[in-house]
Structure 1
Amino acid sequence: MQPDKIKKLVIVTASVLVVALVAVIYFFNRHNNIPVLEIPKVAVTGNTTISETWAGFYPSQWASYLENYANTEKPSHYDTKPYMKPIYHGIGFFAEYNEPRAHTYTIEDIKAIDPARTKSGSACFTCKSTQVPELMEKYGAQYYLMSFDQIKDEVTEPIGCADCHDSETLDLRLSRPALIQALERQGRDVNQLTKQEMRSLVCAQCHVTYYFAPGTKELTFPWDKGVKADQIYAYYDEKGFTEYTHADAGSGLIKARHAEYETFMDSTHESAGVACADCHMPYVSTGTSKISSHVWQSPLNNIKQSCTNCHQNGEEWLTQRVGTIQSQTIHTQELAGNAVVEAINELKISREADNVDQAKLQEAMILHRKAQWYLDYVMVTNGYGFHNPTETLNNLSIAIDNAHKAVDAAKAARGTS
Structure 2
Amino acid sequence: MKNKGIIIALSVVVAIIILGAVYTAFAINNRDISEAAKKPNPEEIQKNPTVNEVWGKYYPEHWQSYLKGKESDQKTKYGGNLRESKLEHFPYLRTLYAGLGYSEEFWEPRGHPYALEDINSVPGSRKKTGGACLTCKSPEVPALIEKYGDDFYRKPFNEMVKNVKYPIGCSDCHDPQTNDLRITRPALIKAFERQGKDITKASRQELRSLVCAQCHVTYYFKEGSKETTFPWDEGLKADQTFQYFEKRNLTEWVQPLVQTGLNKARHPDYELFVGSTHHSAGVACADCHMPYTKQGDSKISSHWWVSPLLNIEASCTKCHTQGADYLQKRVYQIQDEFKAVLDLASETNLKAVRTIEAALKTPGADQASIKRAQDHYRKAFWYFDWVSTANSMGFHNPQEATRFLAESIQYANEAIQAADQAMLKKQ
TM-score of the alignment, normalized to the shorter chain, above 0.5: yes
**Aligned 1:8-407 pairs, distance under 5 A:** 35-38=29-32, 39-40=35-36, 41-43=39-41, 44-71=45-72, 73-407=82-416
Task: Give the 3-state SS of the residue equivalent to 1:336 in structure 2.
Answer: helix
Shift in Å, 1:141: 1.5
Q: Quickly say closer, same or farther: Cα 1:25–1:169, change in 2 above 3 A.
A: closer
Q: Quickly say closer, same or farther: Cα 1:22–1:190, change in 2 above 3 A.
A: closer
Do the aligned residues in 2 keep the contact of 1:363 with 1:409 (CA within 8 Å)?
yes
Do the aligned residues in 1 keep the contact of 2:218 with 2:267 (CA within 8 Å)?
yes
Shift in Å, 1:36: 4.9
Task: Give the 3-state SS of the residue equivalent to 1:256 in structure 2.
Answer: coil
| Residues in 1 aligned to 2:181 and 2:163: alpha-carbon distance in whole angstroms | 25
Do the aligned residues in 2 keep the contact of 1:46 with 1:53 (CA within 8 Å)?
no
Task: Give the 3-state SS of the residue equivalent to 2:278 in structure 1.
Answer: helix
The Cα offsets for residues 384-408 of structure 1, whole Å up to 9 and x where unpaired, read as 1111010000000011011111111
Shift in Å, 1:15: 7.8
Moved more, 15-24 or 294-303: 15-24
**Alignment gaps of 5+ in structure 2:** 73-80
Structure 1 outlier segments of 4+, above 2 Å:
9-26, 34-42
Shift in Å, 1:287: 2.2
Amino acid paired to 2:40: V
| Residues in 2 aligned to 1:70 and 1:139: alpha-carbon distance in whole angstroms | 35
**Alignment gaps of 5+ in structure 1:** none
Shift in Å, 1:415: 1.1
Shift in Å, 1:416: 7.2
| Residues in 2 aligned to 1:282 and 1:314: alpha-carbon distance in whole angstroms | 16
Task: Give the 3-state SS of the residue equivalent to 2:46 in structure 1.
Answer: coil
The Cα offsets for residues 233-286 of structure 1, whole Å up to 9 and x where unpaired, read as 111110011111102111210110100000000111101100000000010012
Amino acid paired to 1:393: T
- Match of residue 75 from structure 2: none
The Cα offsets for residues 97-138 of structure 1, whole Å up to 9 and x where unpaired, read as 000011100101111111211112111100111110011011
| Residues in 1 aligned to 2:54 and 2:336: alpha-carbon distance in whole angstroms | 42
Task: Give the 3-state SS of the residue equivalent to 1:55 in structure 2.
Answer: helix
| Residues in 2 aligned to 1:142 and 1:245: alpha-carbon distance in whole angstroms | 26
Q: Percent identity?
A: 45
Shift in Å, 1:46: 2.5
Shift in Å, 1:142: 1.0
Q: Quickly say closer, same or farther: Cα 1:153–1:362, change in 2 above 3 A.
A: same
Amino acid paired to 1:303: I
| Residues in 2 aligned to 1:36 and 1:247: alpha-carbon distance in whole angstroms | 57
Q: Quickly say closer, same or farther: Cα 1:275–1:19, change in 2 above 3 A.
A: closer
Shift in Å, 1:42: 3.1
Shift in Å, 1:76: 0.4
Amino acid paired to 1:168: Q
| Residues in 2 aligned to 1:268 and 1:403: alpha-carbon distance in whole angstroms | 29
Moved more, 311-320 or 268-277: 311-320
| Residues in 2 aligned to 1:217 and 1:16: alpha-carbon distance in whole angstroms | 67
Do the aligned residues in 2 keep the contact of 1:122 with 1:148 (CA within 8 Å)?
yes
Amino acid paired to 2:376: L
- Give the paired residue count: 409
Shift in Å, 1:37: 3.4
Shift in Å, 1:23: 8.7
| Residues in 2 aligned to 1:189 and 1:262: alpha-carbon distance in whole angstroms | 18
Do the aligned residues in 2 keep the contact of 1:42 with 1:57 (CA within 8 Å)?
no
| Residues in 2 aligned to 1:12 and 1:311: alpha-carbon distance in whole angstroms | 43
| Residues in 2 aligned to 1:12 and 1:307: alpha-carbon distance in whole angstroms | 44
Shift in Å, 1:21: 9.3
Shift in Å, 1:364: 0.7
| Residues in 2 aligned to 1:172 and 1:277: alpha-carbon distance in whole angstroms | 12
Q: Quickly say closer, same or farther: Cα 1:287–1:245, change in 2 above 3 A.
A: same
| Residues in 2 aligned to 1:236 and 1:351: alpha-carbon distance in whole angstroms | 25
Question: Normalising by structure 1, what TM-score?
Answer: 0.92
Do the aligned residues in 1 keep the contact of 2:150 with 2:226 (CA within 8 Å)?
no
| Residues in 1 aligned to 2:355 and 2:368: alpha-carbon distance in whole angstroms | 15
CA RMSD of aligned residues (A): 2.5
